[in-house]
Structure 1
């Protein structure tokens, strides 16, 4: 992905290097707990100490390295691409105006209306303040622990979280989460899968537009994104953790589903084709 020297986004809230956390701040919410548990599930790491540590005084600080700065610049450029792409899709396909998301960069730990965030939680979108939270150290986790390396794999992660904001802007996310509260756990998981697969499809739309509008994709970039989708499928994650895949516990979709829905968005370029909620086959 050709990104160096390109325009970055102004919608970056960089909290790296700040002091934060503490019991005087927000307490760890349910979504924050779920995010911590999820990353432990992904990596097989015992993250229970984080549930206690997130309530104690913490620092989002630490030395900002050259790698941190470069990763921040990369995220800024990627976010700028999402802004242009989604503004165009909203205008041309929906006859509407897109409101860009703010992306919070942090290092170590920070707080959100959805609860505490740490390097162990992974990136997430918080509807409470309509912001994406990202510790770029997760890119290293992707490459070294999940087998999903490459700059466009990292860009796919950013695009996927921005896609949740798109869902929120369209009213999809709120309706889906409301319905999840009214059904059984297994049914709620099924709705979550449809949310995540639609975000993958939206990410494919974004990748197609980046390729056509900016010409910044390089050979192998789409393959990196598809591989990332494969490596973070629920079945693959459970298998890699030494567990037998249990479909009723899936919350993001299988590797095959995630790859297929990303490819649907990429191949069609049509937001209507990303309606995972009406699809008979997901």
Structure 2
């Protein structure tokens, strides 16, 4: 991706070196208190305020130590800042075309753990979006995990990660996150998981829409599309479960299969509009404009 010497977002907050106490997420299953839907990086606070019902108070101490940024980390920080700036430009224009006003999210860089409106999350959670504060949270060490553990190298693989989380912000702006939240107590765990999958696939579609415009602006280089598609496939529920436990449990899927994730990113990339991103099969409450 062509990103050097381009505009960086002014909506980046650096909390690296801070260690947070406060509230932490507790598990137990969707039918119980809450399951931490962050088996991969494309999870976290995707559902808004209802996460607070599953928070456990562990104190509110905050400690800060000088953070020694490496040259590699500095470059990665610059990169995600440029990607965020690109998403700001694209979604501002797209929203304007549909008669909406886009409000920029804030990208929070953290190391170790971080406090959000959705609770305390550790680096193992991976990048996530919290609707409660409209922030994206990223530990830049995830870049290594994405490349080495998930076998999805390349800068545009990481750009896809950022764009997916911004996709959740777009969903929140359009009121879709609240609609999903309202279904949680109305459905069984298996039924809710089906909506969760569609919600995540829609964020993949929206990431593809952003990539569509990034290509039109001349920012993509040869191989970038392949890096993003590879990353989308690498984090499919079926592939992750197979790698982790040797078998898959489709009724427990929360993000979609590898094929589904690749399909919806590709569809967004080719389409570039909101109308083709109805992953909810025309259900009125979730239908995009």
* Bin of the TM-score, shorter chain as denominator length: 0.7 to 0.9
Q: What is the TM-score of this pair, normalised by structure 1?
A: 0.87
Alignment of 1:91-170 (within 5 A): 91-92=96-97, 94-170=98-174
SS at match of 1:217: coil
SS at match of 2:136: strand
How many residue pairs end up in the alignment? 263
CA, structure 1 residues 36+108, in 2 after alignment: closer, same or farther (shift >3 Å)?
farther
CA contact (8 A) 1:60 1:106 kept: no
CA distance in 1 between counterparts of 2:147 and 2:121 reads 20
**What CA RMSD, in Å, does the superposition of the two structures yield over aligned residues?**
2.3
CA distance in 2 between counterparts of 1:68 and 1:220 reads 23
* Correspondence for 2:86: 81
CA distance in 2 between counterparts of 1:2 and 1:37 reads 30
* Correspondence for 2:6: 6
CA distance in 1 between counterparts of 2:130 and 2:60 reads 22
CA, structure 1 residues 138+56, in 2 after alignment: closer, same or farther (shift >3 Å)?
farther
CA contact (8 A) 2:25 2:36 kept: no
CA contact (8 A) 1:60 1:110 kept: no
CA distance in 1 between counterparts of 2:26 and 2:188 reads 17
Deviation at 1:59? Answer: 5.2
User: Structure 2: 5+ residue runs without aligned partners?
Assistant: 28-33, 44-54, 284-289
* Correspondence for 1:38: 39
SS at match of 1:163: helix
User: Structure 1: 5+ residue runs without aligned partners?
Assistant: 43-50
CA distance in 2 between counterparts of 1:144 and 1:208 reads 27
CA distance in 2 between counterparts of 1:21 and 1:55 reads 9
CA, structure 1 residues 119+60, in 2 after alignment: closer, same or farther (shift >3 Å)?
farther
* Correspondence for 1:67: 72
SS at match of 1:132: strand
SS at match of 1:241: helix
CA, structure 1 residues 160+37, in 2 after alignment: closer, same or farther (shift >3 Å)?
closer
Q: What is the TM-score of this pair, normalised by structure 2?
A: 0.85
CA, structure 1 residues 36+95, in 2 after alignment: closer, same or farther (shift >3 Å)?
closer
CA distance in 1 between counterparts of 2:4 and 2:111 reads 22
Deviation at 1:10? Answer: 0.3
**Counterpart pick for 1:178 among 175, 182, 205:** 182
CA, structure 1 residues 13+34, in 2 after alignment: closer, same or farther (shift >3 Å)?
farther
Deviation at 1:245? Answer: 1.1
Deviation at 1:279? Answer: 5.2
